[in-house]
Amino acid sequence: MTFTIQPLQSNQPGVDFGVSVSDLDLEKITDDEFKQLEEAVYTHQVVVVHNQGHVCPKTQYNITKRFEPEVDTYGHGAQHRAEQSVIARDLSPLPEVPQVQLLGHGTVRDYQGIKERKLTHPNHRVFHQTHLTDEQEAEGKTRFYRWHMDAALYKLNPPKVTTLFGVKNPEPRRQTLLYDDGTDDTLDVQLGTTAFISGQKAFEILPPDMKDLAFRTKVKYAAHPYLWMSKARARSTGLGMVCEGKELSHEELPPIDEDAIKIYPMLWKNPVTKKIHLQVHPAAVEDLIIDGKPIGDLKKVRDLLYQFQRPSIAPANVYAHEWQDGDFVLFHNRGVLHSVVGTLKDTDTRIFQQCNMASADDPIPVTEEDFAPYRTENFTAIKV
């Protein structure tokens, strides 16, 4: 048995990733179908399987685990439960399958072993430095909440694949997403969309000197990154943070295990297509190490990162998924960035389940040989 894949529908000319599947039942997936699905996730980055409303949490867990058979730890381990962590407020584990997280909006009753839980869809007001006005929100304006990959970025390696299951969505209405970063960029989106951008595109659209700099750069993440950033505020695009000196000091953090600090290359190789992805979780970065030398200045680091990543979230490159109830999305977490979007009202209900596993493997680095096709004579190497 095989299933058919079709390109995702998007009006955005730069979106060259993502497929949908309508003839697969994840409750009855065969080994051959899983192999095909696995290859599709790494090849196309985002796979939407429609009509899976009947899929139980255990099946979501089992499918997610098949991408990482040797590990049984949720992508954030237990770190996201620390109360002040910026992750804690958005996720709650299902009692019977704790690797699957419940998220959404509104009060959920008698759901998968949970008697009652009030869920809150993340709103930019709790994370961004500047806010939309009440009037703007009433008019249906919204923002990207936080561009990220799902990863603890301390002690644990980033999950390879995340599954995001849209069990129930609010009544659809359109919202206008504002970038509010001095550009007039906007995006027309469905309420509660999830936005994705391709890390491969993020790399491909860089000019030769920035490609070269990316290849020479390693990214150092903060220890306990989600606590470290818990008082800091994000840019209006949700792409990284502004500098106001609000990051927690080492004394304010739990003890730091130096060996648990994560330093990854800026460029990661796709395990199937062998293509290069620029893959950075901007909010959690503490330093960039260029040609072996740390920059050591957080403002410089963030400004440079923004230069690397802002082109990739231009409206033309964003796939904003229009959820239907029962959509089961699998995405290559090491190949895309994604963001929660939308300003929901008290009367809107949304029930989602998310699952991923911290990986046993480091991301695959890009070698000189992989980078060779991008070498050109026509640039001057950037010195930082």
**Nearest alpha carbon to residue 365 among 292, 260, 279, 258:** 279
Residue nearest to Fe ion (CB): 150
- At closest approach, how far in Å is the CB of 268 from Fe ion? 17
CB of 303 to Fe ion, least distance (A): 25
Smallest separation (angstroms) from Fe ion to the CB of 273: 22
Q: What is the DSSP letter of 315?
A: G
Q: Output 150 or 247, the one with its CB closest to Fe ion.
A: 150
Quick one: which of 342, 300, 291 has its CA closest to 321?
A: 342
Burial of residue 50 (CB within 10 Å: 0-12, 13-18, 19+) is middle
Q: Count, in order, helices (H) and strands (E) of the chain.
A: 8, 21
Size of the site for Fe ion (CB under 5 A): 1
Of residues 146 through 205, those in contact with Fe ion by CB under 5 A are 150
Residue placing its CB nearer to Fe ion in the complex, 90 or 212: 90
Question: Could you tell me the CA-to-CA distances from 199 to 144, 204, 281, 317 in Å, in that order?
Answer: 17, 9, 11, 10
CB of residue 16 to Fe ion, shortest distance in Å: 22
* Nearer Cβ to Fe ion (158/265): 158
Task: Provide DSSP, 138-201.
Answer: HTTEE-B---B-S---BSSBPPSEEEEEEEE-PPP-EEEEE--SSS--EEEEETT-EEEEEHHH
| Between 148 and 235, CB nearer to Fe ion | 148
Of the pair 150, 180, the CB lying nearest Fe ion is at 150
Our CB check for Fe ion shows the closer of 38 and 150 to be 150
Residue 50 backbone dihedrals phi, psi, to 5 degrees? -80, 160
Say how far residue 96 (Cα) sits from the centre of its chain: 25
**In the complex, least distance from residue 338 CB atom to Fe ion, rounded to whole angstroms:** 6
**Smallest distance, Fe ion to C-beta of residue 352, A:** 10
Q: Which of residues 322-381 bind Fe ion (CB under 5 A)?
A: none
Binding site for Fe ion (CB under 5 A): 150
